[in-house]
Amino acid sequence: PVAIGNRLRGGAREVASVVGPLCTPLDLLADQMELARAEEGDLVVVFQSGAYGLTASPTAFLGHPLPAEVLV
């Protein structure tokens, strides 16, 4: 499950896919999911990601910098 973290209480919604910056089909976090309409600066929350964070990521793939990772 994925959500726009700072827009959980309603507002305009849309069907969207959430993808990462890597040019690989594996970088898909949510496909055709109804979400709150996101704007630049919003927080995307990926629930139940478990161990599939930075430790399971292809670090330095295509020269991308390491991402920020926050445990809440």
**Tens of pLDDT along 10-68?**
789 999 999 987 788 888 989 999 999 999 999 999 888 766 667 777 777 777 777 77
The residue type of 5 is G
Strand extents, DSSP E, the chain: 2-4, 13-19, 28-36, 44-46
Annotated catalytic residue: which of 12, 23, 51, 70? 23
pLDDT for the residue numbered 51: 61
pLDDT for the residue numbered 53: 67
Domain boundaries, the chain: 2-63
- Distance (Å, rounded) from C-alpha 16 to C-alpha 41? 17
Annotated active-site residue 12? The verdict is no
CA distances (Å), origin 12, targets 4, 21, 45, 66: 12, 25, 17, 32
Tokens 């994925």 map to which residue? 2
